[in-house]
A and B are shown apart, each in its own frame.
Chain A
Amino acid sequence: MNGSSCCVRFICEIGDATAAVFHDALKLISFTGETISELFLALRNPLRIRWKETLYYMNMCGANALPISSLICLLMGLILGYQSAVQMHKYGADAFLPALVGCSIVRELGPLMIAVIATGRAGSAFAAEIATMKATEEINAMQTMGFSPWRFLVIPKLLAMICMMPLLTFFGDMFGIAGGMIVGTFELDIPVHTYYTQTVYWVPPRFFVESLTKSIVFAIIVTGICCLRGFEAEEDSLGIGRATTSSVVTSIIVIIVADTLMARMFNMIFYGSAV
C-alpha cells in the first residue's frame, strides 16, 4: 500500500517535471521566435528601431563598462603572466610567455571575462528593468497600446550588446596582452619590442576573429536569457530579485557551455581536429 502510493507519487512528480520542462521549452521557443521576427522587421526597416533606447544601452553597457572591463582584463593578463612566468622560467621557456598570455587572453579569457562582467552589469539590469516594468503594468500598457515589448525592450538591448560586446572584448584583449607585457618586461626582462613581435607572431588575426565571434554569441546569450527571465518574473519585489539572480546564474552557465562548444569548434576550424 505504502509502496504503491510512493510509486504513484514518483510517477506524478516525473510527470510534473516533464510538463515543466516542456512549458519552459515552449516559452523559450516563443520568446526566440518573437525576438527573431522583430529583429528581422527592424533590419528591414531601420526606422522601426528605437534608436534613442539603443544609444542609451550602448552607452550603459558599452562605454560605461569600458573602465572595469579594461581593468579586469589587464589584471587577468598580469595574473596569467605571473603564474606562468614562474613555471616557464624553470624550464627556460621565458620566450614563450607572449604566446601563452596572448593566446589564452585572446582566444579564451578575454571574451569570457567580458561576457561575465556584462552579465553582472548589463544582464542583471536588463532582467530587473523588465521585471519591474512587468510589476508596474508598464508591459501590459505597452501591449494594449499595440506596442511590441520586443521592439521597445529587447531589440534595443540586443543591438546595443551586439555592437558593444565585440568592442569591449577587443579592448579587453589588448589590455590583457598589455598585462602580460608588463610581467614579461619587468620580471623576465623581455624587451618590449621583442614581446610585441612575439605576440604578433603567435597571435594571428584569426584568433581575434574567434574572440569577436565568441563575444557576439555571448552578447546574444546574455541579452536573450536576461530579457526572458525578466518577462517570466513574478509580479512582486521578491519576483524581481529572483528574476535577476536566475538571469545571472543561467547566463553564466549557458556562456560556459557555449564557450566549451565554440572552443572545440574553433580548434576544428583552425587545426582540423578537436585537440
Chain B
Amino acid sequence: MESGYAVEVREVSVGYGAKTVLRDVSFRVRRGEIVALLGGSGCGKSTILKAVIGLLPVQSGEILIEGESMVSCSWAARRKIQRKFGVAFQGGALFRSYTVRENIALPMEEYTDLSREEIDRRVREKLKLVDLSGTEEMMPGDLSGGMVKRAAVARALALDPHILFLDEPSAGLDPLNSARLDDLIRNIRNRLNAAIVIVTHELDSIFAIADRAVFLDRDAGTVIAEGPPAELRDHSPVEKVRVFLNRGHLEKKE
C-alpha cells in the first residue's frame, strides 16, 4: 500500500446531468503530500472534489482511494472507503441541530469504542488544534463564518484520517488564522503522514504548504498545468497560470 497512491484520479469527466463541467482530469496524491487544486471561481474545483469523495457520479474515468475504486464498487464498499478520509466542505456543512462538540464527537461515537471521557478529551484536543477551545457547547448557527470553517476542519480530523479533502478552508479567515491553519495542515501531514487535497485561492498558503498544484481551467474544462507551485509561477508555459500565481501581474516577465 505504501508504494501506491492515496488518491488517484484517472481521466475523469464529471458534470451535472447531461452537462459536463470537467473532462479528462487526472491527478495523483501520495501519502504525506499536499496537493492544491487551483482555478478560477466556477471552474469545477468543488465539483471534482465531490466526484472524488463519491457524492457525484463520474461520467467516465476511474477514481482510486488507496487503490480501491470509488467508481465501480458496491454502495456498501463505497461507504467503507469513505471512512478512510475526512472532508471539510466549502460551506462547513456542520450539522446545525448539534452542538460543536456533538458534531465532532459523532464520527467517534459511531465508528469507535472509545469511552465518553476519551471522546470528550479528543474533541477538546481537535478544537484546540483549530483554536476553537471553549466553543464545545455552542450551536453552529452561533459561530462566525471563519469559526464554522475551522470547526469543519476539526470534524474532518475526528477520526485521524489518512486522507483529507479541504474545500477552501481558509476563505474568510483573517491572515493570522489563515497562517495558523496552514501550520495546522502541515502538522497533520507530518503527524499522520496524510495525503491532503486542498482547494484554495490564498496564494500565500499555496506557496507555503502545497507540494504540488493542479490547475483547472473553466474554458479548457480540464487540467491545464500541474507541478510545484513556485515552478508553475515562474516557468509554466501557460500564461494564465503564471498570471494567476503572480496575483494577476506579470511584472517579472522579460
Contact = CB atoms under 8 A, between A and B. Distances in A.
B130 to A, nearest CB: 17
Contact of A144 (B54, B90, B97): B54
Nearest to A140: B55
Nearest to A147: B110
A146 interface: yes
B89 interface: yes
A143 B57 CA distance: 14
A136 B83 contact: no
A145 interface: yes
B4 interface: no
Contacts of B89: 137, 140-141
Interface in A104-162: 133, 136-138, 140-147
B132 interface: no
B107 interface: yes
Given A145-B107, A147-B110, A140 B93 contact: yes
Q: How large is the interface on A (under 10, 10 to 19, 20 to 34, 35 or more residues)?
A: 10 to 19
Contacts of A53: 97
B96 A136 contact: yes
Nearest to B79: A146
A140 B82 contact: no
B55 to A, nearest CB: 5
B95 A140 contact: no
Contacts of B172: none
Interface in A176-192: none
A144 B53 contact: yes
Interface string B92-119: 0111110000000011001100000000
Nearest to A129: B97
A267 to B, nearest CB: 44
B91 A144 contact: no
B194 interface: no
Contacts of A133: 96
A46 B53 CA distance: 30
Given A144-B82, A145-B82, A146-B79, A138 B95 contact: yes
Contact of A138 (B55, B87, B93, B111): B93
B50 interface: yes
Contacts of A142: 95
Interface string B20-64: 000000000000000000000000000000100111000000000
From B55, B93, B97, residue with most partner A Cβ within 10 Å: B93
Contact of B91 (A136, A145, A147): A136
A144 B95 contact: no
A146 B108 CA distance: 12
Given A136-B96, A140-B50, A146 B82 contact: yes
B95 A141 contact: yes
A146 B83 contact: yes
Contacts of B95: 138, 141-142
Contacts of B55: 140, 143-144
Contacts of B97: 53
A141 B93 contact: yes
Contacts of A136: 91, 93, 96
A133 B83 CA distance: 21
Given A138-B96, A140-B89, 8 more contacts: A53-B97, A136-B96, A140-B50, A140-B55, A141-B87, A143-B54, A145-B83, A145-B87
Q: Which 8 A-B pairs have the closest CB atoms?
A: A141-B93, A137-B93, A146-B79, A137-B89, A144-B87, A144-B53, A146-B83, A146-B82
Interface of A: 53, 133, 136-138, 140-147
23 contacts: A53-B97, A136-B91, A137-B89, A137-B90, A137-B93, A138-B95, A140-B50, A140-B89, A140-B93, A141-B87, A141-B93, A141-B95, A142-B95, A143-B55, A144-B53, A144-B54, A144-B82, A144-B87, A145-B83, A145-B106, A146-B79, A146-B110, A147-B106
